[in-house]
Amino acid sequence: MADRAGSHPASGWLILDKPRGLGSTQAVGAVKRNLREGGHAKTKVGHGGTLDPLAEGVLPIALGEATKLAGRMLDASKVYEFTIAFGEETDTLDVEGEVTARSGRRPPIAAVAAILEHFTGEIEQVPPAYSAVKVDGRRAYDRARAGETVEMKTRTVTVHALSLANGREEAAPRSAFAAEAGRPDPFDPRAPLELADSVTLVAHVSKGTYVRSLARDIAHALGTVGHVTYLRRVKAGPFAQDQAISLDKLNEIGKGARLEDLLLPLEAGLDGIPAHDLDPESAQAVRQGRVLSGMPHPDGLLLAKSGGVPVALMEVTAGTAKVVRGFNIPDTAE
């Protein structure tokens, strides 16, 4: 079937709200299938950051020339909402694994609130044994599933922000006073002590941060054990969950719905990077990979455009701009 986009396949981003139980590779496969069935068979597809099958939420899917930016998306920070259930730790640090430790201790909500600042900023973290980190050339989860003892190395990651999510804490029964008064302020020393069976947090983290490890370490710091029972990515780089589409919406593309109505432009993945519109002569020079001089822009990345169409991502140094990534997107006037 001829590509409905003509000789130039579509370029941009589909932001998928990945459901629990679906792997990232399967999600990409679903996009490819719908594009093929909808007449967009020539379109390149890639994803901007793996989500575990048990996780749900924002999965950026790059199409066409946007696939050249997928690597930048992998490096972008992410925001997750996750629930830690206290009392049991598993080998996978989530609900899929076998229980390896138990504790009858339940931390006070006030203690949870107070300890979060100690997990903010640069922290040392040991990734889960069941993770995609390579150990001696093999994925850690492959070694763990084979029954090997996997020694994971500590890494430094950054937690930009960490806080309690509103209204998701499931606490043990409270006193009559607490029940009548409503949930107390966890920072108020006069508030009644409220113990948490589980707690839901929101974390803004750097590339390479494992939320399951963060949950394990928070539980340990509170004098107990825990594991992740719920994990949702609410933001990946510049893409938020209110921009995400469901699988049902994705499937409409395969049934003939307009891809353009769901596709975000390529430059949506370059949020915060200034754009500069080039004259035709400069645009042609950039397409040939040539350097531009006399650029009136501060040092840093710049999106060069021509007639509103992205031409290249460029690096400006002392007024000189060099191509970092060129985009082969036709001008609408062509």
Q: Which residues are catalytic?
A: 52
Question: Long-range contacts: 127-134, Cβ < 8 Å, 24+?
Answer: 127/152, 127/155, 127/210, 127/213, 128/92, 128/93, 128/152, 128/210, 128/212, 128/213, 128/216, 129/91, 130/91, 130/92, 130/93, 130/97, 131/210, 132/50
Please identify which residue in the block is written with the tokens 């036709």.
Answer: 330
325 membership: H or E segment, kind and range: strand 320-326
Task: Report phi then psi at 49, rounded to 5.
Answer: 130, 115
Cα–Cα distance between 98 and 85 in angstroms, integer? 14
* Burial of 146: CB neighbours in 10 Å, binned 0-12, 13-18, 19+: exposed
Structure-token pair, residue 111: 């203690």
Cα–Cα distance between 237 and 75 in angstroms, integer? 8
Dihedral (Cα; 82, 87, 89, 90), 10-degree rounding: -90
Are 79 and 234 contacting, i.e. CB atoms less than 8 angstroms apart? yes
- CB contact set of 271 (below 8 Å; sequence gap of 6+): 237, 238
Of the candidates 57, 98, 96, 106, which has an alpha carbon nearest to the alpha carbon of residue 243?
A: 57
Are 260 and 288 contacting, i.e. CB atoms less than 8 angstroms apart? no
The alpha carbon of residue 239 and the mean position of all alpha carbons in its chain are separated, in whole angstroms, by 9
Secondary structure (H, E, C), 208-231 = CCCHHHHHHHHHHHCCCCEEEEEE
